[in-house]
């Protein structure tokens, strides 16, 4: 097909004309949506990078005379690394005269390899390198497989939890449904409360004033003392004057002598 015809077909379909095999004779082109093609290619590359797992080489060191508790702790680390899909490099360090007993190191490494055989296998046999003896253990499953299994297990657990919640949810029966509301015409009209008239507050009556009694009139034929004295011409007696207080004031202290002025 001629190039002009291919371009016309792409324009009629509102698509792009993409060359997919430029080295072929004749070159191969394809009518497609180039933007969607790039998006799908980027999505596939992201998925490949996400599923890609790089194996890491972990390292664990032992002593020839290791304590049983320390041995169990380090063996647990080896199992955890193998379950994660990583390789483990087990190293035994010899000190002093321990270098003359390499068979003890081989026995220790063989014991460790047998106990973790469920998660890994011996990839490199024990070999002595100077003062150290090294053995490499590889995982039974690859890291990508371990990741996929862990993801599937998490998804299955989430689905199981959702199913349990749905089963434990209370079922709504039609008998327990709430009654329908009554029609508007049958509902009672709300009572309209009219505002009450304001109450008239009357002032409280003032308390009665106490009655003031008028002085009693003098008896008939008896004149008051002052009037009787005026008639007789005798002097009117006056009330006695108040006596002065007999308390004497305390004497004032004598003034202090002043010091002589300087130069006198």
Which of 125, 145, 165 terminates a domain? The answer is 145
pLDDT band with cut points at 50, 70 and 90 for residue 185: very low
Does any domain span residue 109? yes
Q: Are 133 and 127 in contact (CB under 8 A)?
A: yes
Assigned token pair, 36: 């969607």
Same-domain pairing of 16 and 67: no
Does any domain span residue 254? no
Domain that holds residue 8: 3-51
CB atoms within 10 A of CB 62: 19
What pLDDT digit, counting tens, does each position of 163-176 carry? 888 877 665 544 55
Same-domain pairing of 47 and 61: no
Q: Which of 148, 132, 149 is nearest to 59 (CA)?
A: 132
Which stretches within the chain are classed as H helix? 3-12, 34-51, 68-83, 102-115, 143-168, 225-232
Quote the radius of gyration of the chain (alpha carbons, Å): 60
Does any domain span residue 71? yes
Record the pTM. Answer: 0.41
pLDDT band with cut points at 50, 70 and 90 for residue 226: low
Q: What is the CATH number of the domain that holds 45?
A: 3.10.20.80
Q: Are 6 and 30 in contact (CB under 8 A)?
A: no
Q: Which of 70, 119, 64 is nearest to 94 (CA)?
A: 64
The better pLDDT of the pair 115, 181 is held by: 115
Q: Which of 161, 169, 143 is nearest to 55 (CA)?
A: 143
Same-domain pairing of 61 and 31: no
**Quick one: pLDDT at residue 235?**
61
Same-domain pairing of 77 and 44: no
Same-domain pairing of 32 and 72: no
Assigned token pair, 166: 């749905």
């Amino acid at each position: 097909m001629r190039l002009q015809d291919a371009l016309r077909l792409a324009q009629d379909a509102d698509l792009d004309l993409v060359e997919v095999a430029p080295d072929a004779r004749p070159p191969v082109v394809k009518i497609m949506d180039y933007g969607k093609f790039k998006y799908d290619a980027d999505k596939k590359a992201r998925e490949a990078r996400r599923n890609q797992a790089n194996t890491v080489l972990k390292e664990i060191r032992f002593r020839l005379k290791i304590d049983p508790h320390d041995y169990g702790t380090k063996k647990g680390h080896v199992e955890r690394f193998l379950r994660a899909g990583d390789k483990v490099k087990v190293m035994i360090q010899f000190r002093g005269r321990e270098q003359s007993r390499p068979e003890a190191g081989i026995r220790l490494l063989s014991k460790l390899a047998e106990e973790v055989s469920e998660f890994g296998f011996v990839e490199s046999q024990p070999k002595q390198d100077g003062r150290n003896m090294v053995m490499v253990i590889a995982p039974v499953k690859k890291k990508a497989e371990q990741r996929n299994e862990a993801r599937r297990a998490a998804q299955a657990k989430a689905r199981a939890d959702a199913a349990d919640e749905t089963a434990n949810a209370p079922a709504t029966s039609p008998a327990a449904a709430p009654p329908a509301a009554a029609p508007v015409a049958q509902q009672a009209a709300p009572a309209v409360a009219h505002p009450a008239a304001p109450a008239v507050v009357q002032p409280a009556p003032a308390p009665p004033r106490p009655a003031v009694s008028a002085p009693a009139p003098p008896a008939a034929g008896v004149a008051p003392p002052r009037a009787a004295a005026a008639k007789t011409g005798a002097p009117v007696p006056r009330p006695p004057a108040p006596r002065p207080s007999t308390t004497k004031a305390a004497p004032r202290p004598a003034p202090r002598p002043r010091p002589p002025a300087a130069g006198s």
